[in-house]
Amino acid sequence: MRQLTRRSILAAAPAVAFAFKAWPARAKDYGPGVTDKEIKIGNTGPYSGPASSYSAVPKSQVAYWKMINDQGGINGRTINFISYDDAYSPPKTVEMVRKLVEEDGVFFTSATLGTPCNSAIWHYMNEKKVPQLFVATGATKWDDPKGHPWTIGWQPNYQSEGRIYATYILKEKPDGKIGVLYQNDDFGKDYLKGVKDGLGDKASMVIVEASYETTDPTVDSQVVDMKAKGVDVFVNCGIPKFAAQAIRKAAEIGWKPLHVLSSIGNSVGATLKPAGFENAKDIVSDFYLKDPSDPKWKDDDGFKTWIAFMDKYMPDADKSDAGNVAGSSLAGMTAQVLKQCGDELTRENVMKQAASLHEVMVPMLLPGVTANTSPTDFAPLKQVQMAKFDGQRWNLFGELLRGAIG
């Protein structure tokens, strides 16, 4: 009789387990999308559409997770990284993210790209209590642990960069007259606010605030106006096209202010080359990632790790594309969160671990730049280093700077 009972229980066990698919998971404290063998992570990015030049960011993440799986996964689980194209269209992002969460049943999303796209899913993710980890955008609003406890940012945000410029200016030219050129939208205004906040009670140093629209043909008149008003510190927050125009125009009219270029416009290829290297000499800017085209990293361990990854998993990709640096760094950070989670793979614990990063490094961050978060601080990267352009390339100088808000 006893024998029989045990056997019948054994026979029934798979059926029971099948009927209550979630049951073993619950016993082990797993969230949706997690089993003993696998973790599902969702992602969206612009593989097509107007912003497809950023497609290296999701593509390099796919490659990075492949590498992680080849190395045995994380805590014995392979990562099933599901990445969909949203064509940088917010309605498509909503559709794809709902598919990820409701159909594919992902554990969380990671590094979804674009300010408008992330804005579109912001409320949905927080309502559904699904972690929206390390969004790939520099807007300041992602650092909102109280209002949106399921969303966490990643890169140094534009406001904190603005503060860093202010700190630098106060040190270099405490009695300067500042002119700020910014794009008339969210990120431009974030920069302006950051600069003013950083100046604090000396905010009156900003004597010209000149905006441009992306539709403007040139920013020549703004630059000429600044020179005429006696501006001697020029904070140039243009996207590459306008940043280059401003650099060129300043050289043309023989204007030599202390020229601070924001990080969105500091690409050598996209901004400085068209502006003319000789015109761009002595401009300063800020960085948090290593520039893969800079030969000084040749013997750097982090760079060697990264280039080995690129050679094996993305042999055809453009290695000077900063998107590959950002994507692999984002995936590396997410991997770190999963490692910290151990076997307690619940969505609550993912957010808890993402909010307790302590001096986390990934290979392509500048030496000394680390990710740090706390339950009240959802802005992982805050440090940058200033660099001066010598006519050929950027040379980092000085200490790491922080622009922490608050």
Partner 1 sequence: MTTVPKDDIAVAGAVPVQRELRLRPSLRHVVIAGAIAAALVIPLVTSSFVTFQVTEVIIYGLAILGLNLLTGFNGQFSLGHSAFYGIGAYTTAILMHNYDVAYYWTIPAAGGVCFVVGFLFGLPALRLQNLYLALATFALANATPQILKFHALENWTGGVQGLVVDQPDPPSFLPIDGDQWLYYFTLAVMLVMFAAATSLIHSRSGRAIMAIRDNPIAAAAMGINTSLYKTLTFGVSALYTGVAGALGALAVAFVAPDSFTIFLSISLLVGLVIGGVGSIPGCLFGGLFVLYVPNIANSLSSGLAGAIYGVILLLVIFVMPAGAAGFVRLAAARLSRSQQAPITGAQGGKP
Q: Which residues bind partner 1 (CB under 8 A)?
A: 47-50, 59, 83-85, 87-92, 94-95, 98-99, 102-103, 115-116, 119-120, 122-124, 184-186, 211, 213-215
Q: Count other Cβ atoms within 10 Å, centred on residue 328.
A: 27
The minimum distance between CB 96 and partner 1, in angstroms, equals 8
Q: Is 252 helix (H, G, I), strand (E, B) or coil?
A: helix
User: Quick one: 90 or 302, whose CB is closer to partner 1?
Assistant: 90
Minimum CB separation of residue 182 from partner 1 in Å reads 12
What's the min distance (Å) between Cβ of 241 and partner 1?
A: 15
CB-nearer residue toward partner 1: 45 or 257: 45
In the bound state with partner 1, the residue whose beta carbon lies nearer, of 31 and 188, is: 188
Q: 176 or 188, CB closer to partner 1?
A: 188
Query: Which residue lies nearer to partner 1 by CB, 123 or 229?
Result: 123
| C-alpha span between 195 and 200 (Å, rounded) | 9
In the complex with partner 1, which residue's Cβ is closer, 208 or 247? 208
Closer Cβ to partner 1, 75 or 184, answer by number: 184
Structure tokens belonging to residue 333: 């950070």
Q: Is 69 left (phi over 0), alpha (psi -120 to 50) or beta?
A: alpha
Q: DSSP assignment of 49-86, as one string? A: STTGGGTHHHHHHHHHHHHHHHTT-BTTBEEEEEEEE-
Contacts of 337 (CB under 8 A, 6+ apart): 133, 350, 353, 354, 357
Return the structure tokens found at 330.
């984002």
Q: How far is the CB of 405 from partner 1 (least distance, A)?
A: 18
User: Least distance (Å) from partner 1 to the CB of residue 155?
Assistant: 18
Please state the closest distance from residue 86 (CB atom) to partner 1, in A: 10
- The C-alpha atoms of residue 381 and residue 359 are separated, in whole angstroms, by 10
Of the candidates 267, 240, 258, the residue with the CA atom closest to the CA atom of residue 183:
240
Q: Calculate the alpha carbon distances from 62 to 69, 250, 309, 397, 403 in Å.
A: 11, 42, 12, 34, 31
The SS3 call for residue 38 is strand
Tokens 């290979």 -> residue: 363
The one-letter amino acid at 366:
L
Minimum CB separation of residue 190 from partner 1 in Å reads 11
